[in-house]
């Protein structure tokens, strides 16, 4: 199964056949056996080739991106994300159900801190560190990015790791801005997961506000 809307060739920033993390590689192999039609490989990033806003998530959802091959596509977390991006003119449609639905992102791109679905949605620290090499290469190639919008603490810390920055100097908090250098910011948001939205730790209004904040910093408003 190959998502039709982007190339999936191996590069320094992405390897569709990566097996560096034994636990994740075994889990993907088991997933392919149970769900023959699933993508069930490392999931590449998605969106504009030269974005000014980079949205950093945690990892593919088991029945979302792990199934479709596109970040936040076909799962609950993507409902709020794509609807909000559409409202701000960053997405061509308000929902994303499959990698073949024609949806495009404008001035924005989505990448995950960990490219393989982890058991129970919980990557191990060593898996986060291992996959950070791919994230570092990708971020280095995206020279136009002005704002990194981190969805959750793991994504926040993954961005810091790519730059060799200490977590203690950049504490995570929803809506907090961190100056990374003279041209770029890291902005934090709670993850738009089912748990966070149903418990109202993250409301629709809160998420719209943090996306508006990110767009303003990125010069998109």
Q: E strand or H helix at 130, and its extent?
A: helix 125-141
| Torsion angle of C-alpha atoms 177, 104, 39, 54, degrees rounded to 10 | -20
- Examine residue 72 and state whether it is found in any structural domain, yes or no: yes
The answer as to whether 8 is a domain residue is no
The answer to the question of residue 163 being in a domain is yes
138: domain CATH number is: 3.40.470.10
- Domain presence at residue 213: yes
Domain membership flag for residue 12: no
List the chain residues with pLDDT less than 50: 2-7
Domain of 82, in residue numbers: 22-217
**The predicted structure's pLDDT at residue 9:** 59
| Per-residue pLDDT at 13 | 84
> Residue 4's pLDDT is what?
41
Sheet holding 53-57, edge to edge: 46-47, 108-112, 53-57, 147-151, 185-189, 177-179
At 12 the pLDDT is 77
Domain assignment present for 3? no
- The pLDDT assigned to 7 comes to 45
How many structural domains does the chain have?
1
Whole-prediction pTM value? 0.94
Q: Flag whether 114 is in a domain.
A: yes
The per-residue pLDDT for 6 is 45
Residue 7 in domain: no
Structure tokens at 26: 């075994």
Residue (of 168, 167, 163, 169) closest to 181 by Cα position: 163
């Amino acid at each position: 199964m190959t998502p039709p809307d982007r190339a999936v060739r191996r590069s320094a920033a992405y390897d569709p056949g990566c097996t560096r993390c034994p636990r994740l590689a075994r889990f993907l192999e088991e997933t392919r056996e149970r769900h023959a039609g699933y993508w069930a490989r490392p999931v590449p990033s998605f969106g504009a080739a030269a974005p000014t806003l980079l949205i950093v998530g945690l990892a593919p959802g088991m029945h979302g991106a792990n199934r479709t091959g596109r970040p936040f596509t076909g799962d609950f977390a993507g409902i709020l994300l794509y609807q909000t991006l559409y409202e701000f003119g960053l997405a061509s449609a308000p929902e994303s159900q499959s990698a073949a639905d024609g949806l495009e992102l404008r001035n924005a791109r989505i990448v995950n801190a960990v490219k393989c679905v982890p058991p129970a949605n919980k990557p191990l620290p060593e898996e986060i560190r291992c996959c950070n090499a791919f994230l570092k290469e990708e971020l280095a190639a995206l020279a136009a990015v002005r704002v990194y919008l981190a969805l959750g603490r793991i994504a926040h810390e993954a961005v810091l790791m790519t730059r060799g920055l200490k977590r203690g100097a950049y504490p995570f908090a929803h809506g907090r801005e961190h100056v990374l250098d003279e041209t770029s910011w890291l902005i934090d948001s709670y993850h738009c997961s089912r748990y966070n939205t149903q418990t109202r730790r993250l409301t629709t209004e809160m998420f719209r506000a943090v996306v508006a904040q990110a767009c303003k910093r990125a010069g998109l408003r």
